[in-house]
């Protein structure tokens, strides 16, 4: 707004320095705002420090280990291979630090003021930051809450027992356990199960639902179950834990709902995450929240208090780092005058298991539930030259296309590189492309991308490599 012939810069305070927070801070700076970012711990949030980045570092190490172990298949003989777990963990820490340093450089380059401490709101435009050095007040035209989430904990668990872990503690282990029970067969539980099983740990997965990775396509889930079982992971579906875990001399013992007893050296609890809203002072502002403790927002990321926005895990809409970053940008754009709404129909979901799983849009069952008649196009990794030369022909891709128009409604992939390949499918779904649009687009050869092209061709009846049954 104009003031004395000059443009007054809007002041934006962002609480939380994870993907939602630092993305919104940088975008706000691009738009000319005066930005203060408050972070109580380390920039990068869960994603950089205790989630996406450290787990993928360990997964990369495990994949290298298993590739070397199987190098004889490629005509390479290796006399001895062993895991140096402390060194693997040190590498993880170096990568975390490099990622944090990159974020700090971006914030500094964009003149974002970073304050370390805990922020509490005293009103819709003001608050106080408390740190070891004392406290300081702040005020802002707009406040963006991006405080993230923390692992859910079961009330009947003794988390003071070092053998009972959340994902935070699992990433700080100093040695590989001999056995582990993973409670929860969702994306996070499956990823950790693959990490430790890949290191030779005997792993049990206990999942209360009758399907691994609940919410994902049933065929993809069945394929993943076969792969994990082949790795030696024991998966118990439709299974609950009857009571609190018991500690004994050999580790942790649990009793399942059907009376089975399982013992392991460690118990890893992966039952989801809950938003971090404590100590924010939001109760005094009467921000609307759901029964699950997440802050209600509209499609512009606004809370019921007009100048306060909530983005990322704290609003519970899509607990994914890439969704959080997008929401942060949406909030800033709206705060500074642009009409910008969220589109949740096209958010890729990736599980970095072995093999990877990725999906976007609707699967077959979801399309049916939405009343959309659909046809499915499929393609197997085993028929793809690039997958075969990589030594990994296990996997499949499927495309869900609307029967009448051929419009791509969604896609699901399981196999090597699935997390990279899904980006093309996200573009297709978001832009309303048809299976024929994708199938007739020439893809380079040999690439894994040809798998989705072939699945698209199969969806409209022009598959080249499908066998005539």
Residue 306's alpha-carbon distances to 125, 160, 357, 365, in angstroms, are: 11, 42, 39, 38
CB 464 within 8 A of CB 457: yes
pLDDT tens digit string along 129-145? 999 889 999 999 999 99
Boundary (domain end) residue, out of 243, 271, 299: 271
Which pLDDT value is given to residue 381?
96
Residue 134 counted as domain residue: yes
CATH number for position 236: 3.50.50.60
Residue range of the domain that includes 412: 355-459
Which residues belong to the active site? Answer: 445
Under the banding of pLDDT at 50, 70 and 90, the label for residue 284 is: confident
Residue 345 counted as domain residue: no
3-class SS of residue 67 = helix
- Record the tokens describing residue 61, joined without a space: 């190490």
Q: Which residues contact 133 (CB under 8 A, 6 or more apart)?
A: none
Residues 285 and 143 in one domain: yes
Dist CA 23 CA 329 (whole Å) = 6
3-class SS of residue 448 = coil
In DSSP terms, 417 is beta-bridged to none
Residue 310 counted as domain residue: yes
Residues 392 and 305 in one domain: no
Residues 18 and 29 in one domain: yes
114, burial (CB in 10 Å: exposed 0-12, middle 13-18, buried 19+)? middle
Residues 325 and 382 in one domain: no
Which pLDDT value is given to residue 197?
98
Residues 138 and 174 in one domain: no
Residues 299 and 404 in one domain: no
pLDDT greater than 80 at residue 299: yes
Residue 136 counted as domain residue: yes
pLDDT tens digit string along 338-354? 888 888 889 999 999 99
Residues 329 and 450 in one domain: no
pLDDT greater than 50 at residue 3: no
Which pLDDT value is given to residue 283?
82
Residue 235 counted as domain residue: yes
Residues 266 and 296 in one domain: no
pLDDT greater than 80 at residue 92: yes
> pTM, whole model, 2 decimals?
0.94
Dist CA 17 CA 145 (whole Å) = 10
pLDDT tens digit string along 70-80? 999 999 999 88
Report the C-alpha dihedral over residues 347, 351, 357, 360, rounded to 10 degrees. -10
Structurally, how many domains does the chain consist of?
A: 3
> Positive or negative, the Cα torsion across 73, 78, 80, 81?
negative
pLDDT tens digit string along 429-459? 999 999 999 999 999 999 999 999 999 999 9
Q: Which residues contact 327 (CB under 8 A, 6 or more apart)?
A: 20, 301, 311, 312, 315, 317, 342
Residue 328 counted as domain residue: yes
Residue 380: other Cβ atoms inside 10 A: 18
Residue 65 counted as domain residue: yes
CB 234 within 8 A of CB 205: yes
> Which of these ranges, 68-77, 177-186, 230-239, 460-469, has the smallest mean pLDDT?
460-469
- Read off the pLDDT of each residue in 81-99 and give the average, rounded to a whole number: 97
Which pLDDT value is given to residue 259?
84
pLDDT tens digit string along 206-231? 999 999 999 999 999 999 999 999 99
> Positive or negative, the Cα torsion across 277, 283, 289, 295?
negative
> Which of these ranges, 152-161, 302-311, 405-414, has the smallest mean pLDDT?
152-161
Q: Which residues contact 405 (CB under 8 A, 6 or more apart)?
A: 434
Residues 308 and 427 in one domain: no
CA nearest to 201, candidates 231, 235, 177: 177
Residues 79 and 97 in one domain: yes
Which pLDDT value is given to residue 468?
60
Q: Which residue has the higher pLDDT, 187 or 292?
A: 187
Of the CA atoms within 13 Å of residue 280, those in its CB half-sphere come to 26
Residues 265 and 283 in one domain: no
CB 421 within 8 A of CB 454: no
Boundary (domain end) residue, out of 241, 271, 301: 271
CB 207 within 8 A of CB 214: yes
Average pLDDT over the chain, rounded to an integer: 94
pLDDT greater than 90 at residue 7: no
Q: Where are the alpha helices (DSSP H) in 312-446?
A: 321-335, 364-369, 385-389, 418-430, 435-439
- Record the tokens describing residue 395, joined without a space: 């996997």
3-class SS of residue 176 = coil
Residues 284 and 145 in one domain: yes
Residue 438 counted as domain residue: yes
Percent of the chain at pLDDT > 70 equals 98
pLDDT greater than 80 at residue 185: yes
- The strand pair at 246-248 and 134-139 is best described as unpaired
CATH number for position 365: 3.30.390.30
3-class SS of residue 229 = helix
């Amino acid at each position: 707004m104009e003031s004395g012939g000059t443009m007054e810069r809007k002041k934006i305070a962002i609480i939380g320095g994870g993907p939602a927070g630092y993305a919104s801070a940088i975008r706000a700076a691009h738009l000319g705002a005066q930005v203060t970012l408050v972070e109580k711990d380390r920039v990068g949030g869960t994603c950089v420090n205790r989630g996406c980045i450290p787990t993928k570092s360990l997964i990369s190490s495990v994949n290298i280990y298993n590739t070397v172990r199987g190098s004889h298949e490629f005509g390479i003989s290796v006399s001895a291979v062993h895991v140096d777990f402390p060194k693997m963990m040190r590498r993880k820490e170096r990568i975390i630090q490099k990622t944090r340093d990159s974020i700090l450089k971006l914030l500094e380059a964009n003149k974002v003021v970073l304050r370390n401490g805990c922020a509490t709101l005293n009103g819709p435009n003001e608050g106080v930051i408390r740190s070891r050095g004392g406290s300081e007040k702040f005020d802002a035209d707009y406040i963006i809450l991006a405080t993230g989430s923390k692992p859910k904990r079961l009330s009947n668990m003794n988390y003071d027992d070092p053998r009972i872990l959340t994902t935070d503690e699992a990433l700080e282990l100093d040695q590989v356990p001999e056995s582990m029970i993973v409670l929860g067969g969702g994306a996070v539980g499956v990823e950790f199960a693959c990490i430790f099983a890949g290191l030779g740990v005997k792993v049990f997965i206990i999942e209360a639902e009758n399907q691994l990775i609940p919410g994902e396509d049933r065929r993809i889930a069945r394929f993943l179950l076969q792969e994990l079982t082949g790795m030696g992971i024991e998966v118990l579906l439709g299974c609950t834990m009857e009571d609190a875990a018991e500690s004994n001399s050999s580790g942790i013992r649990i009793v399942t709902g059907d009376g089975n007893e399982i013992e392991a050296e460690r118990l890893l609890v992966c039952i989801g995450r809950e938003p971090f809203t404590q100590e924010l002072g939001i109760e005094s502002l009467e921000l609307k929240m759901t029964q699950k403790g997440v802050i209600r927002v509209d499609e512009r990321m606004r809370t019921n208090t007009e100048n306060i926005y909530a983005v990322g895990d704290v609003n519970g809409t899509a607990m994914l780092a890439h969704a959080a970053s997008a929401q942060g940008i949406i909030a800033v754009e709206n705060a500074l005058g642009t009409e910008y709404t969220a589109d949740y129909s096209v958010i890729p979901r990736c599980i970095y298991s072995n093999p990877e799983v990725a999906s976007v849009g609707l699967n077959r069952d979801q399309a049916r539930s939405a009343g959309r008649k659909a046809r499915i196009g499929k393609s197997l990794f085993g028929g793809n030259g690039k997958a075969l030369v990589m030594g990994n022909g296990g996997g499949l891709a499927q495309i869900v296309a609307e029967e009448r128009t051929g419009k791509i409604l969604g896609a699901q992939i399981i196999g090597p590189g699935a997390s990279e390949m899904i980006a093309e499918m996200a573009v297709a779904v978001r832009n309303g492309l048809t299976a024929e649009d994708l199938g007739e687009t020439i893809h380079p050869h040999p690439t894994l991308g040809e798998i989705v092209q072939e699945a698209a061709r199969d969806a409209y009846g022009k598959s080249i490599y499908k066998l005539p049954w």
